[in-house]
Amino acid sequence: MNPYILAILLFGLGLGTTITFASSHWLLAWMGLEMNTLAIIPLMAQHHHPRAVEATTKYFLTQAAAA
């Protein structure tokens, strides 16, 4: 994975966590959790192993159904 993309994903993961912890409203907490989800999905599929891709797909579908 490109180091710039990896840095952006890790920054988004950190920012989402910070927003979730610092939120005083449920909408901000939800936004932070969604940012974490969008950042972690490409990181889960980073290793091109069939189980990693399967886990990523299942995680995405479960999260999409819950949202």
State pLDDT tens for residues 24-48. 999 999 999 999 988 998 888 888 8
Distance CA 21, CA 67 (A): 20
| Model pLDDT, residue 50 | 84
Domain boundaries, the chain: 3-66
| Model pLDDT, residue 10 | 93
Sign of CA dihedral 48, 16, 63, 8: negative
Distance CA 48, CA 55 (A): 11
The residues, any chain, with a CB within 8 Å of residue 65's CB and separated by 6 or more, are none
Sign of CA dihedral 12, 13, 18, 19: positive
